[in-house]
Amino acid sequence: MKYDLKKKICYSVIIVAMLVGFTLIAVFGVDANGSGSAKDINLGLDLAGGVSITYEAEEGSPSTQDMQDTIYKLEKRVEGKSTESQVYQAGDNRITVEIPGVTDANAILEELGTPGSLGFVDSTNYSAWSSGEDYVTLLTGSDVKTAQAYTDTSSNSSSSYGVQLTFTDDGAKKFEDATAANVGNIIYILYDGEVVSAPRVETTISGGTASITNMESFESADTLATYVRIGSIPLTLKEVSSNIVGAQLGRDAIRTSLYAAALGLVVLCIFMIIVYRVPGVVATFALWIYTTLVLILVSVYDLTLTLPGIAGIILGIGMAVDANVVIYSRIREELGTGRGVENAIKAGYEKATSAIVDGNVTTLIAAAVLYIFGSGPIKGFATTLAVGIVVSMFTALVITRVIMKLFYNFGFKDAKWYGKTVHKKTFNVLGIRKICFIASVVVILAGFAGMAGFNASGNRILNFSLEFVGGTTTTFTFDKEYSQQEIENDIIPVIEKATGVSSVQQQKVQNSTKVSFKTTDLTLEQREQMEESVKKDFPIQDGSIVESDTISSSVSATTKRDAVVSVVIATICMLLYIWFRFRDIKFAAAAVVALLHDVLVVLAFYALARVQVGTTFIACMLTIVGYSINATIIIFDRIREQLKSANSKTNMTQLVNEAVTYTFTRTVNTSLTTFIMLFALFVFGVTSVREFALPLMVGVICGAYSSVCITSPLWYVFGGKNRGVVEEERAKTEVKPDKDGAQV
């Protein structure tokens, strides 16, 4: 561990370069465009504002090719609206269109409409179409293979511009029949309910190609070619959800989240330095590198940052401290046994590595499940959480080791700079296990009783948001603040009359001019009528837009299913991983029961506190599951370590109590550091961030409690109390080499 002068200079330069370099890149980027900087990060709709609409194919099981073709043609429709527009598949038969940064939201929704409406019609069917009657198309856009504008350089007249059409095999036959029946007549080309071209048929056209001539300019020819290329979409789509978000929420969320991150970082660093001294300073450097590196990676890999994504990064900062605390706690324990500082540092890192890796892998499992089953913002949260976990492992196991060695080699060799931990008293956790079990059952039953009570009184068992029950929420930011009485007596009747809906629920943001109204699913026409009617009598704030969120019942049913499936799959994966790593089903069974305990306790909190159960509910539950299992693994890892020397004479009660006692400080400190970051989010965050942070705070406390008071006692009850005998029998049957190397 001793560094010569050359190594000290080299490693010092590397660490300083990382601190300064990552900071400069995170602020300014690596080129003139700011690539790699925080300002270059792609912002999601909830931060940038804009429009999101999800379509569902009415065809039950559309082919992969039809989905890809539909996505491509929708991309062509929206590519001019915003450079950040995205069209992507969401599930087997759903497609989501996201257009950040736009303000003419209703116009875009109306323009997108129900995609798939390009057709060729003859004069008779054109008359039926113009009269609003049913009509028959001769061909659709799917019959056209390509369409390309051209310029005939051999002529200087206006007839030199045109569009070359190439038909599919079926389309070629249809077009030949259509032109044969309409020589001398007009064939109208309709696109989204408008006539975009009306060429006259001069002769029967065969061979699979045709030209529309006499175009007035190349631009008009190119426009027509574009209409034909992106015209008829292979699938019949219906809108199942839409979201119109104002950018003001995003600006507020970013600003308040930055406050939370800055304050949380400062408090964390002060806490770590006070508690752990030199290692606390090392952790401060590591946290700085962690934060800047995460921002750079999010920017470089073009990850879309959403509101839950910001929460994921800030939560990751709190969780990044966890690995450092595990290491530093082990170092202090080693110093407490009489080891020298050099050997204590080496042993601390070696003994903490397995627990850190196991704990973070289980959290990565939760992040992976979130990404697979989540959508939009939840995928963003899962991505930033996963990135944070990987980076935190790198900084904790690699960067801090180098910095710690540098401090030692620069003269910090006295144990007083690191602190010592001597366990003089063992907590009798197993002695209170029955009380803990009963207390947990009481809390869980109280939650179920509360849900039953709400259901009996005519309310929902949980305060479900739109994602779970469907409907439309419209939010107005008025130019003045209205009282509850004015909202109920004046504004709601206007909404009911405009939409034809008899039941309207309202939610007023305290000390704000913003009011949200929730109704059943509204069509675009109903939404527009509602906006016009309300704004006519109750003007909205200058510069603000009317935010709208509509989710159909089919989407909400899928969300409920995904929520349950996500938690179940994550739990099963964690069980299998723990079983594999600890080679004892009792460890896995105890961990899973404790996870179920945490989920039910937090669910009880959701029920009794009436915290809104929305999209972030899934992220919250799986984060709690991942975080709780992390603390459990630290204790189990200590039990596993002590079992190596266990036999039939080992007092298993004392062994378990010692394992919990030796890791208790770590459990408290890591829970406290994560709680600090969440509390900062709760204090400074916007409403949706608070609704995410509050249950997580409860989950962190619950996870610490279950790790100490539930999991280890459960392992003991499930058969761990007999493990000493098992270890002794295993030792007797183990194949050992004799003196000459042969096995006996």
- Give phi and psi for 592, each to the nearest 5: -70, -40
**Is residue 80 predicted with pLDDT exceeding 50?**
yes
**Is residue 485 predicted with pLDDT exceeding 70?**
yes
| pLDDT (tens digit per residue) in 375-422 | 666 777 788 888 888 898 899 889 999 999 999 999 999 999 998 888
Q: What's the average model confidence in pLDDT over 341-349?
A: 92
Burial bucket for residue 737 (CB in 10 Å: 0-12, 13-18, 19+) = exposed
Candidate from 100-104, 275-279, 301-305, 696-700 with smallest mean pLDDT: 100-104
Domain boundary among 551, 575, 604: 551
What integer pLDDT is reported at residue 725 of this predicted model? 64
The candidate with the shortest Cα–Cα distance to 466, out of 381, 398, 548, 349, is 548
Confidence of residue 232 (pLDDT cuts 50, 70, 90): low
Looking at mean pLDDT, say which of 144-148, 248-252, 494-498, 680-684 comes out highest. 494-498
**Is residue 588 predicted with pLDDT exceeding 80?**
yes
**Is residue 156 predicted with pLDDT exceeding 70?**
no
Amino acid at 293: L
Evaluate whether residue 212 is within a structural domain.
yes
Do 384 and 476 belong to one domain?
Answer: no
Evaluate whether residue 382 is within a structural domain.
yes
How far apart are alpha carbons 575 and 588 in whole angstroms?
A: 5
Query: What is the 8-class DSSP label of residue 277?
Result: S
**Is residue 339 predicted with pLDDT exceeding 80?**
yes
| pLDDT (tens digit per residue) in 21-67 | 999 999 998 888 888 888 888 777 777 777 888 888 877 788 887 88
Do 68 and 149 belong to one domain?
Answer: no
Evaluate whether residue 146 is within a structural domain.
yes
What integer pLDDT is reported at residue 705 of this predicted model? 94
Evaluate whether residue 680 is within a structural domain.
no
The residue with greater pLDDT, 499 or 687, is 499
Confidence of residue 744 (pLDDT cuts 50, 70, 90): very low
Do 105 and 145 belong to one domain?
Answer: no
What integer pLDDT is reported at residue 742 of this predicted model? 46
What residues have CB less than 8 Å from 638, skipping those under 6 apart? 355, 659, 662, 663
Confidence of residue 147 (pLDDT cuts 50, 70, 90): confident
Do 509 and 395 belong to one domain?
Answer: no
The residue range of the domain holding 81 is 50-115+240-245
Q: Crossing angle for the helix pair 278-300 and 400-409, nearest 10 degrees?
A: 150
What integer pLDDT is reported at residue 17 of this predicted model? 94
What integer pLDDT is reported at residue 598 of this predicted model? 92
Do 343 and 395 belong to one domain?
Answer: yes
Do 262 and 396 belong to one domain?
Answer: yes
Evaluate whether residue 726 is within a structural domain.
no
Please give the angle made by the CA atoms of 245, 386 and 18, to the nearest 5 degrees. 105
Evaluate whether residue 275 is within a structural domain.
yes
**Is residue 183 predicted with pLDDT exceeding 80?**
yes
Do 105 and 194 belong to one domain?
Answer: no
Domain boundary among 169, 201, 232: 232
What integer pLDDT is reported at residue 401 of this predicted model? 92
The fraction of the chain above a pLDDT of 90, given in percent, is 27
Do 175 and 267 belong to one domain?
Answer: no
CATH number of the structural domain spanning residue 521: 3.30.70.3400
Across the chain, mean pLDDT equals 83
Diameter of the chain measured on Cα atoms: 106
How far apart are alpha carbons 549 and 530 in whole angstroms?
A: 14
What integer pLDDT is reported at residue 104 of this predicted model? 66
Do 316 and 387 belong to one domain?
Answer: yes
CATH number of the structural domain spanning residue 166: 3.30.1360.200
The residue with greater pLDDT, 253 or 447, is 447
Confidence of residue 685 (pLDDT cuts 50, 70, 90): confident
How far apart are alpha carbons 111 and 115 in whole angstroms?
A: 9
Candidate from 8-22, 250-264, 454-468 with smallest mean pLDDT: 250-264
Q: What's the average model confidence in pLDDT over 1-20?
A: 89
The candidate with the shortest Cα–Cα distance to 271, out of 677, 691, 713, is 677
Q: Crossing angle for the helix pair 400-409 and 5-28, nearest 10 degrees?
A: 140
How far apart are alpha carbons 570 and 362 in whole angstroms?
A: 9
Evaluate whether residue 448 is within a structural domain.
no
CA atoms lying within 13 Å on the CB side of residue 244: 24
- The total domain count for the chain is 4
Q: Residues 548, 244: contact at Cβ < 8 Å? A: yes
How far apart are alpha carbons 700 and 477 in whole angstroms?
A: 35
How far apart are alpha carbons 118 and 376 in whole angstroms?
A: 30
Domain boundary among 522, 551, 580: 551
The residue with greater pLDDT, 108 or 446, is 446
The residue with greater pLDDT, 230 or 450, is 450
Do 164 and 186 belong to one domain?
Answer: yes
What integer pLDDT is reported at residue 623 of this predicted model? 75
Q: What is the DSSP secondary-structure string of 390-412?
A: HHHHHIIIIIHHHHHHHHHHTT-
The candidate with the shortest Cα–Cα distance to 285, out of 269, 299, 307, is 269
**Is residue 365 predicted with pLDDT exceeding 70?**
yes
Q: What's the average model confidence in pLDDT over 150-174?
A: 82
CA atoms lying within 13 Å on the CB side of residue 508: 16
Buried b (16+ CB within 10 A) or exposed e, 64-91: eebbebbbebbeebbeebbebbbbeebe
The fraction of the chain above a pLDDT of 70, given in percent, is 88
Evaluate whether residue 8 is within a structural domain.
no
Do 127 and 214 belong to one domain?
Answer: yes
Do 161 and 284 belong to one domain?
Answer: no
CATH number of the structural domain spanning residue 277: 1.20.1640.10
What integer pLDDT is reported at residue 54 of this predicted model? 83
Helices (H) and strands (E) in the chain, counts: 25, 17
